[in-house]
Structure 1
Amino acid sequence: MATGIAKRFTPLLDRVLVQRLKPEAKTASGLFLPESAAKAPNYATVLAVGPGGRTRDGDILPMNVKVGDKVVVPEYGGMTLKFEDEEFQVFRDADIMGILNE
């Protein structure tokens, strides 16, 4: 499904389309958590990126992330989009806090 949304929505300028990772439903010891107790992590997967912002002279600024990166996003902010019962967020490139290296 995530690749389908990337084909249907193209971010402009320095915007980044992400999908947050699902919260863990089970603890390390094997206990299942109810949905109310499972806190969603601030991690997301980058699905699409815009071409980059522009300087006053019209030069394109390179993006800091690329499709497939796992990133840390702010808990609040961005714009939420809903496509076929799945939620996605759009953030500016500068709002992305970091890339997770695995």
Structure 2
Amino acid sequence: METVAISSSGYAYVLTSSGTIYGHSILRVDPTDGTTLGGAAFGGFDVAIDDTNYAIWIVGADVKKLNIFLEQECALDPVEWTAVSVDFDSSGSIWIAERKHS
């Protein structure tokens, strides 16, 4: 499974998986020719790009905020099992959806 978010500048941020729901890594890809421009070992299930605040949010086993250079700025762990969706509002607040294991 791969999850993709496109920034307003046109770059694709792709979460890759190694077979787990927590993901493997994130890649920054030029969508015009598919060239990988960078990557980092931060996996997740979903990704959202907040261009206004220059933030990339990744959720999975936890919640991570990266800058546009894929450097981690913070990590939060309010997630009991796995977060499956992330979005943000105009104030920069994030919203996450979490699943529980049966």
Greater helix share, structure number: 1
Q: Under a length normalisation based on structure 2, what TM-score does the superposition of the two structures give? A: 0.26
Greater strand share, structure number: 2
Q: Which has the higher contact order (CA 8 A, sep 6+)?
A: 1
Quick check: which has more Rg, 1 or 2?
A: 1
Q: Under a length normalisation based on structure 1, what TM-score does the superposition of the two structures give? A: 0.26
